[in-house]
């Protein structure tokens, strides 16, 4: 049996259910405190050194030059991969020396936001008071709308610092992801961690350290689109693509004989007419599964992403789970 769902890799915080208003406010306060990209923030530059697990552990660097939510520049390098992303008004420009962005890079960028204030697809269930390394903490238990993911966000009850954010997927591919944040420093009326780490199933995948965070002004040329960049439109209330035709892939015979199961993650571009192009495997399940995944996704049809009534091109990621059931 084959199952799939879509990932848009947008870092989101929970949309809150009907629970204790004090717990709802606690989560909102924590998100606001850590949000150095807030509307009233002064322009700044953030530099992060990090290591990320690809096939081997690789070192990289991230530089974010930020003026406002629609004026910023982000440069990331790791190994021989380089990505420059610029946002100017409703236009976003990407220049990279690869046809796709590796999954660990996207994960790092999301991790650097710590706890985004944007609404998400989570429901707050309850809160527990705990002691974490001698600090009084409140741990908020959340559940995804689909009820197959559990999340626990632990906050310092005095400083509202995010201490940890853990997600567990409860299915036949059970996995556990833990994000931890430490050494918070004051910056621009907010508090931002100087160190953060991501572990998956007990193994460290990303280890990052802030080497510089300071207010700074930038010349207008900083945000000019570089020659050769890919252009994408952004807008308020953007609606992501919705799949309307998804033919089932056939489970490949070699994989079936060997009882191969796994998850393939694929980057795709959904065009204005809802067709799919630029298919790239980001995470491999098995070579034979990868091929059938790509061949199948080519045939999918979407309702395109929308800015108001205008269809736009949108890059998304598709996660396909291959499993054998009696």
- In the predicted structure, residue 38 carries a pLDDT above the cut 90: no
Residue 294, H or E segment: helix 287-297
Distance CA 261, CA 244 (A): 26
Tell me which range, 64-68, 140-144, 318-322, is most confidently predicted by mean pLDDT.
64-68
**b/e 205-235 (16+ beta carbons within 10 angstroms → b):** bbbbebeebeeeebeeeebebeeebeebebe
Per residue in 146-197, pLDDT (tens digit) is 667 888 999 998 888 999 999 887 665 678 899 999 999 999 999 999 999 9
Question: Is the model more confident about 35 or about 261?
Answer: 35
Tell me which range, 95-109, 188-202, 292-306, is most confidently predicted by mean pLDDT.
188-202
Domains of the chain plus CATH, in order, are 2-231 (2.50.20), 235-322 (3.30.2420.10)
Which residues pair with residue 308 across a beta bridge?
Answer: none
- Two structure tokens written together for 42: 């002064």
Residue 313, H or E segment: none
pLDDT of 170: 65
- In the predicted structure, residue 308 carries a pLDDT above the cut 80: yes
The pairs formed by 152-158 with CB atoms below 8 angstroms and a separation of 24 or more are 153/14, 153/27, 153/30, 153/115, 154/130, 155/26, 155/27, 155/30, 157/26, 157/129
Question: How confident is the model over 89-109, as a mean pLDDT?
Answer: 91
Tell me how crowded residue 156 is: count the other CB atoms within 10 A of its CB. 17
Eight-class DSSP state of 226: P
Eight-class DSSP state of 14: P
């Amino acid at each position: 049996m084959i199952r799939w769902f879509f990932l848009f890799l947008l870092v989101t915080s929970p949309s809150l259910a009907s629970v204790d208003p004090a717990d709802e406010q606690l989560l909102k306060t924590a998100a606001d405190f850590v949000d150095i990209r807030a509307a009233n923030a002064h322009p700044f530059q953030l530099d992060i050194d990090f290591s990320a697990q690809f096939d081997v552990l690789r070192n990289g660097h991230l530089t974010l030059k930020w003026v406002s939510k629609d004026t910023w520049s982000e440069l990331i390098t790791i190994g021989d991969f380089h990505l420059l992303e610029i946002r100017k008004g409703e236009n976003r420009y990407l220049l990279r020396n690869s046809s796709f962005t590796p999954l660990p890079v996207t994960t790092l960028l999301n991790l650097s936001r710590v706890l985004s204030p944007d609404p998400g697809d989570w429901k707050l269930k309850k809160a527990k008071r705990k002691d974490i390394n001698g600090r009084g903490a409140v741990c908020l238990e959340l559940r995804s709308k689909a009820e197959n993911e559990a999340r626990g966000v632990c906050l310092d009850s005095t400083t509202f610092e995010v201490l940890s954010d853990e997600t567990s997927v409860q299915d036949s591919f059970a996995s556990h992801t833990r994000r931890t944040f430490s050494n918070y420093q004051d910056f621009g009326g907010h508090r931002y961690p100087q160190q953060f780490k991501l572990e998956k199933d007990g193994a460290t995948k990303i280890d990052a350290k802030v080497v510089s965070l300071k207010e700074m002004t930038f010349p207008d040329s900083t945000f000019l689109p570089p020659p050769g960049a890919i252009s994408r439109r952004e807008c308020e209330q953007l609606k992501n693509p919705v799949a309307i035709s998804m033919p089932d892939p056939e489970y490949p015979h070699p994989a079936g004989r060997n009882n191969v199961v796994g998850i393939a993650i694929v980057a795709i571009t959904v065009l204005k007419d809802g067709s799919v192009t630029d298919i790239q495997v980001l995470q491999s399940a098995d070579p034979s599964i990868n091929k059938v995944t790509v061949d199948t996704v080519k045939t999918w049809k979407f309702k395109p992403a929308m800015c108001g009534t205008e269809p736009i091109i949108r890059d998304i990621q598709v996660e396909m789970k291959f499993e054998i059931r009696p």
